[in-house]
Structure 1
Amino acid sequence: MSAIASRDAYARTVRKESGGPGLLLAHGGGGSVESNFGPILDDLAAAHSVVGVDYPGTGGTPRATQPLELDELADQLVAAADAEGLDRFAVLGYSLGGNVAVRVAARYPGRVTALVLTATFARADHRLGLVTDLWAALAERGENDLLARLLVPLALSEEALEGLTSEELEAVVQQTAESFPPGGADHAALVAGVDLRADLARIDVPALVVATTEDRLVPLARQLELARALPGARVAELPTGHLPFAERPRAWADLVTGFLAQGR
């Protein structure tokens, strides 16, 4: 049984101003389409028909009543493409959304034209597993302030973090604590046990791995491991922490749109 009974229960983001080729967006854990891709949506929609869905418990989608599954999230994203009449599409996945994007490519191989994976991983190693276990536990208990104090120094690059005054840092912590969605614990729990290396080995589409080189949540080594597991993947390094949309949105948008333009 699906964690969300109706496909219509997933809130969709659609930007089709250009009428261009399809581009599906898979956001990160604890985020949403707007929070993770909002700063670059105009750039993406300039040449693509953009479609995304908010996972259960974030954006306009109600929280799930059962544990989330990558297959369910992948199928919901493709269902949103179907609803918009998109038969083929590229997929841009950020963080946990990169796992969703890989699963879309594995389950719908004839429909995916390209993959762009940013700040993501092929498997949850011990370090990431421990962090997301704590993330899920704190989120479930409503300890949002403590969770923010855990994640802010992991999500920001050292340059961005140390460039803040004490007052600015405290403001960032409070803003982060207030932004956590109800389903964040479910998103974090989904990371446990993830291992997509077998899926990656079977994917045969143009792929770009945008590696966030100053990332302390998903270290560069894990991102490069993913790139090695994906046949023929290109790697582009982006000097940012885990939040490219906050630290370097223009550079991120340029990498994504530049790569996708090569396939048109």
Structure 2
Amino acid sequence: MTAYARTVRGSGPGLLLAHGAGGGVEANFGPILDGLAQDHTVVAIDYPGTGATPRSDRPLELDDLSDQLVAAADAEGLDTFAIAGYSLGGLVAMRTAARHPERVTRLVLTAAYLRPDHRFRLAAEVWRDLYRSGDHATLARTLVPINFSAPALDALSAEELESVIDGAAATLPPGSAEHADLASRADVSADAPGITAPTLVISTAYDRLVEPHHHRAVAAALPNAELTEIATGHLPFIERPDEWRKLISDFLSIG
């Protein structure tokens, strides 16, 4: 098993981070990494085609991402750990908790889902296919309005909005198509009932990519979960990073 690129910061109890599709450790957790590392040994991996991890030549699978996340924890000497998963990373976190219940102490799942409904599956397939077509400008124009909340977009001038779109198109990671493909078919609905780790489900209340009904379904399916929300679209690390970090840190500090 070829190891994925790994980020390690801080000291203290273990905290693994699982990023979302089309993201990366720095892209999804960068604004809150230092804050989380104040009280934890934070270990995170970049999925294939993101950061310094080479792009995969085969479809991605949740089990492989989970194995790589646990291998990173092993390499850093972490016997037990909490996991914070964002979007697709929430499914990686749940799969890991289901496979290693004795090692996972707590879960924080932000903008997560159990399985794609038709609307989300179609959106992820468009994301995958537009990336493969090379039309990254259209892909950015498709993703930006469903990733940002309406208040965040409306606060931008027309020029600022175009800059955000151009930036999104320019920074799509090489593994975007493979990430979106996995997001379109990943399913942890059978895992959820057996996951007993205390869990905080953070609902991104204005999310139009992974809509809040998905977050509520996650919280309802997990036996030991509580639900809270944050007033953002799908990108809390951009819209409300300090509030997001505090929700994670406060929950992890319990007990």
Query: C-alpha offsets along residues 108-156 of structure 1, whole Å, 9 cap, x if unaligned?
Result: 1110000000011111000000000000001112211010000000000
How far apart are the structure 1 equivalents of 2:226 and 2:67? 26
Partner SS for 2:190? helix
Once the two structures are TM-superposed, the CA of residue 232 in structure 1 deviates from its matched residue by 2.2
> Which residue number corresponds to residue 29 of structure 1?
21
For residue 72 of structure 1, the aligned residue among 39, 64, 72 is 64
Q: How does 1:87-126 map to 2 (within 5 A)?
A: 87-126=79-118
How far apart are the structure 2 equivalents of 1:235 and 1:82? 30
How far apart are the structure 2 equivalents of 1:192 and 1:168? 31
> Which residue number corresponds to residue 164 of structure 1?
156
> Which residue number corresponds to residue 137 of structure 1?
129
For residue 191 of structure 1, the aligned residue among 172, 183, 190 is 183
Partner SS for 1:228? helix
How far apart are the structure 1 equivalents of 2:2 and 2:28? 24
How far apart are the structure 2 equivalents of 1:227 and 1:151? 26
How far apart are the structure 1 equivalents of 2:178 and 2:185? 14
Give the RMSD, CA atoms, in angstroms. 0.8
> Which residue number corresponds to residue 208 of structure 1?
200
Residue 62 of structure 2 contacts residue 186 of structure 2 at CA under 8 Å; is this kept in 1?
no
Structure 1 segments unaligned to the other structure (5+ residues): none
How far apart are the structure 2 equivalents of 1:181 and 1:142? 12
Q: How does 1:221-232 map to 2 (within 5 A)?
A: 221-232=213-224
Task: Give TM-score scaled by structure 1 length.
Answer: 0.95
Structure 2 segments unaligned to the other structure (5+ residues): none
- Alignment-mate amino acid for residue 7 of structure 2: T
Paired residues in the alignment total: 255
| 1:82 and 2:74 correspond | yes
How far apart are the structure 2 equivalents of 1:112 and 1:32? 22
Q: How does 1:236-247 map to 2 (within 5 A)?
A: 236-247=228-239
How far apart are the structure 2 equivalents of 1:184 and 1:37? 17
| 1:14 and 2:8 correspond | yes
- Alignment-mate amino acid for residue 15 of structure 1: R
Once the two structures are TM-superposed, the CA of residue 58 in structure 1 deviates from its matched residue by 0.5
Query: C-alpha offsets along residues 20-66 of structure 1, whole Å, 9 cap, x if unaligned?
Result: 10000000000100110000011100000000000000000000011
* Percent identity for Structure 1 against Structure 2: 57
- Alignment-mate amino acid for residue 169 of structure 1: L
Residue 91 of structure 2 contacts residue 187 of structure 2 at CA under 8 Å; is this kept in 1?
no
Partner SS for 1:198? coil
Once the two structures are TM-superposed, the CA of residue 194 in structure 1 deviates from its matched residue by 2.3
Query: C-alpha offsets along residues 192-233 of structure 1, whole Å, 9 cap, x if unaligned?
Result: 232212101000111000000010111111111111111120
- Alignment-mate amino acid for residue 78 of structure 1: V
- Alignment-mate amino acid for residue 199 of structure 1: D
- Alignment-mate amino acid for residue 246 of structure 2: D
How far apart are the structure 2 equivalents of 1:112 and 1:129? 29
Task: Give TM-score scaled by structure 2 length.
Answer: 0.99
For residue 46 of structure 1, the aligned residue among 11, 23, 38 is 38
